[in-house]
Amino acid sequence: MLSPAQLEPSKERSIHEVVGTVVTHRDAASGYRLLELDVPQEALDCRPGQFFHILCPVDGQSQPFLRRPMSIFGYDRDAGRLSFLYKVSGIGTAALSGLDEGDRLNVVGPLGNGFTIPQNARHLVLVARGVGLATLAPLAQEARRLGLGLKAICSARSPEHLMSIDHFRALGAEVIPVTDSEGTSDPEQLRSLLDGLAEADEMDMIYTCGSNRLLKLCQQVGRDAGIPGEIALEQQMACAIGMCQCCVRPFRRGGAVVQERVCREGPVFDIQEAMEW
Amino acid sequence: MVDLTTRIGALTLQNPIMPASGTFSRDMAEVFELDMLGALVTKTITAEVRGGNPTPRVCEVDGGMLNSIGIPSKGLGAFLANELPAYAPYRAPLIVSVSAPSIDGFAEIVSQLNLPGIAGIEANISCPNIEEDGKAFAMRPDTTARVVEALRRETDLPLWVKLTPNTGETVEVAQAAEAARADALVVANTILSMAVDARTRRPKLGNLMGGLSGPAFKPIALRMAYQSVRSVDIPVIGCGGISTVEDVAEFLVVGACAVQVGTASFINPTAMPRLRDDLQGFLAEEGYASVSDFIGSIRDGAPGDAVRFMEAAP
Ligand SMILES: Cc1cc2nc3c(=O)[nH]c(=O)nc-3n(C[C@H](O)[C@H](O)[C@H](O)COP(=O)(O)OP(=O)(O)OC[C@H]3O[C@@H](n4cnc5c(N)ncnc54)[C@H](O)[C@@H]3O)c2cc1C
Ligand SMILES: Cc1cc2nc3c(=O)[nH]c(=O)nc-3n(C[C@H](O)[C@H](O)[C@H](O)COP(=O)(O)O)c2cc1C
Ligand code: FES
């Protein structure tokens, strides 16, 4: 056994290993869970796009060894609250999903570089699908704080699968739902939707994450309209602090391909530099 | 207060806790005060720029992980220009881990590291990933002897030699390093392993095979540390699976005079400061005034040469 995780808080140190307590934990949509923790304030100096590294509980069924990276879905420093929206996909997230109110959870963060919001931007647009919503949600919180407009294009299989729409609306974002079942989410439709926003001068910055399809689309729209963008990427991690170099991905930069650590140089990257995978 | 200072040849460390190469970088300063460590150990550097292995570079297994990072390196020039100066503010001694694909290359890089700010060299002659056909220097006594002799000619800095578990000749390799005038042994690097996904039927690492580290590996490393202590007179630094104060104590009991912590820092980034504090408490509880009294206090009742014959034990 190690002694308890918390070190004395310090101003110079920005990454904290802390033990939080589960406040609420419930289903968000089928297969997705929303987890809210009470954590020490020192760990809540967060920016949208950053993530935490979660020590999933070891239960009778499985023993996830490595931590699991999870985007910050919401944070409230004053209230001491931190939340995650995640999809149950393998042994770590399955173990996580069994946590009950009052259970303790060891988390490390905040980690990585968050999204940037250009000085002169007035209208932000984000395009998200699935758990990508979790990563992009704090942008809505930040846009409201800065008094900027934000449109959230939320994509899902069907209207029942749309998640977090109320969350975005509550944060003052304009939600544009698109779904496969209604035939509104295919690349051509999205493309004309985004082009329309660009022409109407309602898109100064574009954000996305997760899929190759959305990356390609946002790259094209951004390039053609001269609008900057960012993408949050995922890669398997061990340390999440920049030490082990396992989480690299290739990026196009200055005519060459460079390898960068998703945990340290990312997880948010310039959308034009990102490469499909 | 228990006296935690420990000596490794000419070097005196304020406590026996230090990071293992490749599991630590200056980024850790954002988690805790680096000067609380006994020493700082860099990721292995090479003279040339290297890209490293394909992803996925890690996967988890029960009680541990496999890695096939390779040795991505920005090269010696970048290390000297950017990393070395950045370590200057720290008081903890800096140990630079080096590797090369040939004896000449090894000697060449070490010859360029006789610099202020570098307190010692750790020769990673045990990395299973980079040697052609997978044969590392540290797998055999003769290649160990030749490379360590070449390094000894190039430097008067403390020279630590890191052993590999991928050998049937632990004792002979340890003795070869000592005979070639290594100042200390680091025992050990990861053990070559494999993981396959039963459903996709694909190997879990991009490089197919990789090194096992973490708690699952500890008994192997502990056995090697014990064998090494019993067969050489130079200090031994234990490394492998250390995550709790009991783990630290086990390596000290068998005679290691310091320990390196690797994978545990991925699971608990605050592991090293906590282990330092916990060791204070542990030794006080056990009634020791200093860590040096505790080192090598094993009650094994075994004669000195037992380790050789025991290799065939199971
Ligand atoms: C920066 C970042 C932010 C993320 N944010 C979220 C989020 O907000 N919500 C959410 O549901 N998921 C998120 N993910 C993905 C999440 O980390 C994986 O779904 C999770 O690790 C799967 O673990 P598992 O044990 O359930 O799956 P398993 O398949 O059993 O995991 C096996 C191993 O692969 C790793 N792994 C599997 N999938 C991924 C993945 N997509 N990315 C990185 N590592 C993976 C695991 O960490 C573990 O080491 C994020 C990933 C990254 C890198
Ligand atoms: C991700 C990773 C990278 C490593 N890189 C190096 C390296 O560059 N040089 C080296 O000598 N050992 C390297 N090692 C081996 C460790 O230094 C250590 O010997 C091994 O992991 C066993 O200790 P542990 O179980 O405490 O991790 C690496 C280990 C890991 C897990
Ligand atoms: S996960 Fe270790 S460097 Fe990114």
Average pLDDT over residues A91-95: 95
Whether the pLDDT of residue A130 is over 90: the answer is: no
Residues 15-44 of chain A with CB under 8 A from chain B are 15-17
What separation in angstroms does the CA of B93 have from each of A80, A183, B19, B32, B255? 39, 63, 12, 17, 22
- Arithmetic mean of pLDDT over chain A: 92
Cis peptide before B188 (omega within 30 of 0): yes
Segment B194-206 mean pLDDT: 97
- Mean pLDDT confidence for A3-25: 82
Task: Using the predicted structure, report yes or no on whether residue B309 has a pLDDT greater than 80.
Answer: no
- Arithmetic mean of pLDDT, A85-107: 96
Q: B258: which strand partners?
A: B237
Interface contact B193, partner A, CB < 8 A: no
Give pLDDT tens digits for B205-257. 999 999 999 999 999 999 999 999 999 999 999 999 999 999 999 999 999 99
Distance (angstroms) between ligand 3 centre and the Cα of B310 equals: 40
B81 CB-near residues (< 8 Å, 6+ apart) = none
| pLDDT given at position B55 | 95
CA distances from A250 to A221, B208, B260 (A): 22, 20, 32
* Span A218-243, average pLDDT: 96
The one-character DSSP state at A168 is: H
Residues with CB under 6 A from ligand 3: A 237-240, 242-247, 261, 263-264
| Residue closest to B243 by CA, chosen among B265, B221, B273, B222 | B265
pLDDT digits 0-9 by tens, B96-137: 999 998 899 999 999 999 999 999 999 999 754 354 455 789
pLDDT at B126: 79
Chain-centroid distance, C-alpha B251: 13
Could you tell me the CA-to-CA distances from B265 to A236, B21, B22, B31 in Å, in that order?
A: 17, 12, 11, 11
pLDDT tier at A261 (50, 70, 90 boundaries)?
very high
Q: B204 vs chain A: nearest CA distance in angstroms?
A: 12
Q: Quick check: CB of A251 below 6 Å from ligand 1?
A: no
Q: What ipTM was assigned to the predicted interfaces of this complex?
A: 0.94
Residue A245 sits at the chain B interface (C-beta within 8 Å) = yes
CATH for A16-111 is 2.40.30.10
Indicate the Cα dihedral angle B247, B251, B257, B263, nearest 10°. -50
Q: Whose CA is nearest to atom 1 of ligand 2?
A: A244
Q: Is there a catalytic annotation at residue B127?
A: yes
Q: Tell me what the mean pLDDT of segment A219-241 comes to.
A: 96
- Which of A17, A247, A259 shows the shortest C-beta gap to B269? A17
Lowest mean pLDDT across A115-129, B85-99, B178-192? A115-129
For β-strands B236-239 and B184-187, DSSP reports them as parallel
Helix (H, G, I), strand (E, B) or coil at A255: coil
Quickly count: other Cβ atoms within 10 Å of residue A119's Cβ. Answer: 5
- Which of B52 and A270 is assigned the larger pLDDT? A270
Confidence of residue A12 (pLDDT cuts 50, 70, 90): low
Whether chain B has a CB inside 8 Å of the CB on A89: the answer is no
Q: What pLDDT was estimated at residue A165?
A: 83
Interatomic CA distance for residues A199 and B178, integer angstroms = 73
Averaged confidence pLDDT in chain B? 94
Number of alpha carbons in the 13 Å side-chain half-sphere of residue B12: 6
Residue B101: closest CA among B22, B48, B156 = B48
**Is pLDDT of A206 > 60?**
yes
Q: What is the mean pLDDT of residues A167-181?
A: 90
Is B206 an 8 Å CB contact of chain A?
no
3-class state of residue B61 by DSSP: strand
Q: Where in chain A is the domain with CATH 3.40.50.80?
A: 123-234
Residue A123's Cα: distance from chain center in Å?
20
Domain boundaries, chain B: 6-294
pLDDT score at A2: 67
Residues B5-64 have pLDDT tens digits of: 999 999 999 999 999 999 999 999 999 999 999 999 999 999 999 988 999 999 999 999
Contact B266 A106 (CB under 8 A): no
The confidence score (pLDDT) of residue A3 equals 66
- CATH 3.40.50.80 for domain A123-234, yes or no, is yes
Say if CB A203 and CB A123 are below 8 A apart.
Answer: yes
| CA B149/CA B156 separation, integer angstroms | 12
What's the CATH superfamily of B6-294? Answer: Aldolase class I (3.20.20.70)
A235: nearest CB among B55, B61, B243: B55
CA of B301 to the centre of ligand 1 (A): 49
Q: What angle do CA B27, B33, B38 make, to 5 degrees?
A: 100
Domain with CATH 2.40.30.10 in chain A: 16-111
Residue A129 pLDDT: 87
Secondary structure letter of residue B137 according to DSSP: G
The tokens for B127 are 């990395």
- Is pTM beyond 0.80 here? yes
